[in-house]
Structure 1
Amino acid sequence: MDKRRELMKQAVHFFSMKGFHQTSVQEIAQASGISKGAFYKHFDSKESLFIEIIKQHHEEIISETSAIHFLEHLDPLEVFNRKIAIEIERVLDNHEFFLMVFKDFPPSESEQIAALFQELQTSAMASHKKSILEAFGSKVEPFLLDLATVLGGMLREYFITLIFESKQVSPIKLSAFITGSIHAIVQQLDELDPVLSEEQTFIDQRNELLKGIEDKIQRLSSENDRLLPSFELLKKELGKKEPKIFLVEALLVYLKQEQQLEHDVNRLEKLI
């Protein structure tokens, strides 16, 4: 096992046992057989190590669920059910770690962590929409966002309940219940109207990012006068029916030069 993976393994152990804030870089490094100084050759900080662990967990779930398609003996609904079971199994297998995540990282804890969770939520939503479409076909397309929201909400509430209350349930039984619930809703779609729209969600995400960038600029008192006019121009241009693409791109490049804005501006760029 390479040293980077060993550090991640030891970090999961200590974070699960002691919590993120109570675990020191020294402890993780020592358990991995290296010095504290050598730790920083692999990760910039304890927070960046935590982010890498969360990203790896998410990527492993996406990879494992994607592989289910190669099991030819399963019908589309069985594939969907198995994907849900994998999500449940992987979270419950690491329930102590995720208990620490829920306790140690409230939304306001860190802008970087909050951005990570938002990014993962967007990725999970896209994955769930894809899985629902593959399981139930084109008839559900107008309802994809609603169905994915219901699915994500069910999973999240079950995870919170099972992790905080240390309840033992069968992932297969739970996935069957969730799959059956989504299936039951799908069977009633002829009598329902969509509530959420992709366009509105897109606009809401973009507006939320713009607000976050503006707040950061306001806090950068020394750079406020330089950055705010460019940001206001960008916001005005994006509000037009036909924004000038060259101007938007130039303003994005300019704002990204400020390191504290770079991550959010990159996310905004994907929504334009």
Structure 2
Amino acid sequence: MSPKILTEQEKQFQKHKLLEKGKELLYSYGIKKTSVEDITKAAGMAKGSFYKHYDSKEALFLEIITQLHEDIFRQAENFLSEQSSEPFIERVRSFIRMCFHSQELISIFKYHGEIEEMMLEMQANSNTGVVYLMDLEHQAYEKLLNMFHIDTQKVNPGVVHNYLHAVYFGMANKNMMKSDCIDDTFEALINGLIIYILGGIS
């Protein structure tokens, strides 16, 4: 009996389920403890169906991480574009706080070591998805800076990109920090970025 030929709508539904359940499992168990079989079982489909959409679980997880970044940048653009009596720089501060305290990022923090290892391995293999994600981040920071007429000759989008990654890695490893001043440390890190961005405002 020949396999059923799926309609485009059915294919999209399958992919949506894989992304949805893959995200839940990634946030709950990380990369190493999640198998393709776990994902397809949670999605209610045969294991073979997975490979019609992705070559590996790493490819699925990379798409999930990329979508998370796209969502954050979309939210940033909307949040910072809203009419508000709050000064722009304070809105930047508020948005960074909101992102780093979001449930999704808190979930990702637990498995940042596994995610970093996966990304480095894929990058070493010249994975186009990793290249796309890095370009996406840089372009998004550049777009946000340009939206608010911040001089990108003075405020390098790459520095903003790297700075936020440094904050991310710091917060992901906060178990190695002095626990009674983590919040103050986070605020000091944000202040450092704000001071840098202020240097590009005419």
Q: Distance in 2 between matches of 1:160 and 1:187?
A: 24
Q: CA deviation at 1:178?
A: 4.4
- Listed as ranges, the gaps of 5+ residues in structure 2 are 1-12
Q: 1:130 to 1:81 in 2, by over 3 A?
A: farther
Pairwise CA RMSD? 3.3
Which residue matches 2:88? 76
> Superposed, which structure 2 residues align to 1:203-222 within 5 Å?
none
> Superposed, which structure 2 residues align to 1:52-131 within 5 Å?
52-73=63-84, 74-90=86-102, 91-107=105-121, 111-113=125-127, 115-131=128-144
Amino acid in the other structure paired with 1:119: Y
> Superposed, which structure 2 residues align to 1:188-227 within 5 Å?
none
Which residue matches 2:59? 48
Please state if 1:9 is matched with 2:41: no
**1:120 alignment partner, SS class:** helix
- Listed as ranges, the gaps of 5+ residues in structure 1 are 190-272
Which residue matches 1:236? none
Q: CA deviation at 1:111?
A: 2.2
| Residue range with higher mean Cα deviation, 176-185 or 25-34 | 176-185
Q: How does the TM-score come out when normalised to structure 2?
A: 0.68
State the percentage of identical aligned residues. Answer: 18
Task: Tell me if the contact between 1:10 and 1:32 (Cα under 8 Å) persists in the aligned partners.
Answer: yes
Q: CA deviation at 1:18?
A: 4.9
Please state if 1:28 is matched with 2:28: no
Amino acid in the other structure paired with 2:112: F
Q: CA deviation at 1:186?
A: 5.4
Amino acid in the other structure paired with 2:89: L
Task: Tell me if the contact between 1:7 and 1:29 (Cα under 8 Å) persists in the aligned partners.
Answer: yes
Task: Tell me if the contact between 1:96 and 1:163 (Cα under 8 Å) persists in the aligned partners.
Answer: yes
Amino acid in the other structure paired with 1:37: G
Which residue matches 1:261? none
Q: Distance in 1 between matches of 2:112 and 2:197?
A: 31
Q: CA deviation at 1:72?
A: 0.9
Amino acid in the other structure paired with 2:60: L
Q: CA deviation at 1:61?
A: 0.8
Aligned length: 181
